[in-house]
């Protein structure tokens, strides 16, 4: 697992990524967007209950991407479906009806996920001095357990890195999660790069 100092360093990395993502989203929606990562935790898969992420809702929209490089991870961006539609409304224009918005849900959420995930990827690459690549984003809906189990591609993904996300557009605040599924070897390599980063600051 990660110790407190490593968690703090990783939080700093992801908050730099969140700042980059917020700047890009602000240009799209024409309003100030604030995106922060107030907390990170890591759990073993056996001690992780996806139902704990429900935030009072049963259905989520998720954007998934696979990261490859010195370590590999499957990334899942989760918002409640209600929140996802609010974000789509802001991205596509509030004059659209709910029926019209639904037609753009997948496209807009993939774009949102691509912006947030790749901003985090670029921050990680820059600050940890590594080269990472990502797959194209894909969008799906379901409850957290369905979504996460669908993304557990390999049996050795034994760790779940959970980022709590706050996204604020104008007066609206949306909470979500960014989850990384990691194998033991990938987690160890991530720790090594974080330790190298800590020695340089």
Domain boundaries, the chain: 4-200
Query: Which uninterrupted H or E stretch holds 132?
Result: none
Q: Cα(51)–Cα(62) distance, rounded to whole angstroms?
A: 15
Report CA dihedral (173, 54, 177, 201) to the nearest 10 degrees: 100
Q: Report d(CA 140, CA 33) in Å as an integer.
A: 24
Q: What is the mean pLDDT of residues 156-161?
A: 88
Q: Residue 35 above 80 pLDDT? A: yes
Lowest mean pLDDT segment, chosen from 99-103, 169-173, 177-181: 99-103
The sign of the torsion formed by the CA atoms of 167, 169, 170, 173 equals negative
Contact 111, 133 (CB under 8 A): no
pLDDT band at 83 (very low <50, low <70, confident <90, very high): confident
154 pLDDT higher than 70: no
Report the CATH number of the 4-200 domain. Answer: 3.40.1550.10
CA distance 192 to 196: 6
Strands 172-182 and 60-68: unpaired
């Amino acid at each position: 697992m990660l110790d407190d100092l490593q968690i703090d360093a990783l939080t700093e990395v992801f908050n730099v990524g969140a700042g980059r993502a917020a700047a890009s989203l602000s240009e799209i929606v024409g309003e100030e967007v604030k995106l922060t990562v107030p907390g990170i935790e890591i759990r073993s898969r056996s001690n992780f209950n996806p139902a704990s992420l429900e935030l009072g809702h049963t259905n989520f929209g998720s954007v998934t991407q696979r990261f490859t490089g010195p370590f590999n991870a499957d990334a899942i961006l989760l918002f409640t479906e209600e929140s996802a539609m609010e974000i789509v409304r802001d991205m596509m224009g509030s004059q659209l009806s709910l029926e019209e918005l639904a037609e753009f849900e997948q496209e807009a959420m993939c774009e949102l996920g691509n912006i947030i995930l790749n901003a985090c990827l670029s921050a990680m690459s820059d600050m940890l001095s590594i080269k990472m690549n990502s797959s194209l984003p894909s969008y799906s809906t379901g409850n957290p357990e369905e979504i996460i189990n669908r993304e557990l591609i390999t049996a050795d993904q034994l760790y779940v890195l959970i980022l709590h996300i706050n996204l604020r557009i104008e007066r609206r605040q949306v909470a979500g999660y960014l989850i990384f599924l990691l194998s033991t070897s990938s987690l160890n390599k991530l720790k090594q790069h974080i330790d190298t980063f800590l020695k340089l600051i």
